[in-house]
Amino acid sequence: MIIKNAHVFIDGEFHDVDVRFDEQKILEIGKQLRGDDIIDAKGNYLYAGFVETHMHGGFRKNFFPHNYDSTGSDWSEDDVRYIVAQLPKYGVTSVIPTLNSLSIEDSCRALRAIRKVRREHAGADPFKIHFEGPYINPNRTASIDASLSALPTKEHTLALTDNDLSDIAIICLAPELPGAEEWCKWITAQGVHVELGYTLCSSLQVRECVAWGADTTTHFFNGFETMHQRKEGGIVGCLLEDGLTHQMTCDGMVVSPSWIHLAIKVKGIDNIYGMTDLVHFHGLTEGEYENEHFGPIVVKDDFATTKKNGLILGGINTWDNMMRRARDVVGLDFLQVAKLYGENPCKCLGIHDRGKIEVDRKSDFCLMDKDYNVKKTIIDGKTVYENTK
């Protein structure tokens, strides 16, 4: 199979080349490739299948049993199936499900479900796991899961992961917690990325944590203490550390446009990667809803917030809409958006089998028009979604 007549995103630029692939990998990239099976891209833009690194759920479903909504009582692996089946509509071909702070029982239940669904090839590939908790500072998180915060230990992590670290991609850590140094050195030696977040740490503690092996942050700048010019806080420490990359929610509301531009200017765009932070509130129409734990919530203008204090309850913008908002609200140009969402997630996390159009990587693609409307999504060389409009 050959894709022709596309602007192909490779190494931060769009190229007018053809791409040959089979059901396993990309075989050849070049001009005027010959073959009988042709996909005519009709001048649209070809990206590697998008890799979502920070997503809790969506479509009124979640990747894990959740204790903050009545729908959690009947959660099952079918919720995982439903989520991964929907994602190709938005260009996502691989996802790293993000788990909140959970009990050992709920964590193992979620992991077993995700691992089972992974083997079914039911949509986007849930190929790795991301723990946003529980090794967070309970005085920093606004989540109701603060009671599930824990101190980082090898024994706790093994229990939390069902004694299997082979598919654990990222675990969040507040570096000021007791035992953080020993745990961070151990877990990074297992090949797991440690991200800083939900922390009241100082800039010195950021530097120490990077020396222990930490290399990224969770949804920067969120989860950190507000910057102050007379305080050696965590945010300034993160900005100064060359060894850190940064997840960012580039929608222009969770993080304001100027802060996003500041991070890009200081860190360089190659060290920042886009994500959605999508949660199960996605799918609600505009209006006001009662919630057992948060009280009344308000859904309006692509955001869900608490009515009481305006706390943003994760993300409800899908991948394609995040790219659109990064352009229209944040003011990033076409190439900047392509970098943040196209190649940077895998580049920043050292993932080399997908997330870039390169020979021998997975044959996962997303074909979009100029306005980020998904025209076709291909997973393992097969078209799994096509918009014929």
Between residues 73 and 301, the one the model is more confident about:
301
Q: How far apart are CA 77 and CA 233, in angstroms?
A: 41
Q: Name the residue among 225, 162, 175 with its Cα closest to residue 205.
A: 175
pLDDT band at 389 (very low <50, low <70, confident <90, very high): confident
Query: What pLDDT, on the 0 to 100 scale, is given for residue 144?
Result: 52
The whole-number average pLDDT for the span 283-294 is 80
Question: Mean pLDDT lowest for which of 33-47, 228-242, 278-292?
Answer: 278-292
Q: Once rounded to an integer, what is the mean pLDDT over residues 94-99? A: 98
Residue 36: predicted pLDDT: 84
What pLDDT, on a 0 to 100 scale, did the predictor assign at position 143? 56
The residue-averaged pLDDT of 25-32 equals 96
pLDDT of residue 117: 97
Burial 284-313 (b: 16+ CB within 10 A, else e): eeeeeeebeebeebbbeebbbbbeeeeebb
Using pLDDT thresholds of 50, 70 and 90, give the confidence band for residue 270: very high
pLDDT (mean) for 9-36: 96
Domains of the chain by start residue, with CATH: 2-46+372-386 (2.30.40.10), 50-353 (3.20.20.140)
pTM (2 decimals)? 0.94
Q: Has residue 308 got a pLDDT over 80?
A: no
pLDDT band (50, 70, 90) for residue 70: very low
pLDDT band (50, 70, 90) for residue 298: confident
Q: What is the pLDDT of residues 315-360, one digit of tens each?
A: 889 999 999 999 999 999 999 999 999 999 999 999 999 999 999 9
Quick: pLDDT tens for 169-223. 999 999 999 999 999 999 999 999 999 999 999 999 999 999 999 999 999 999 8
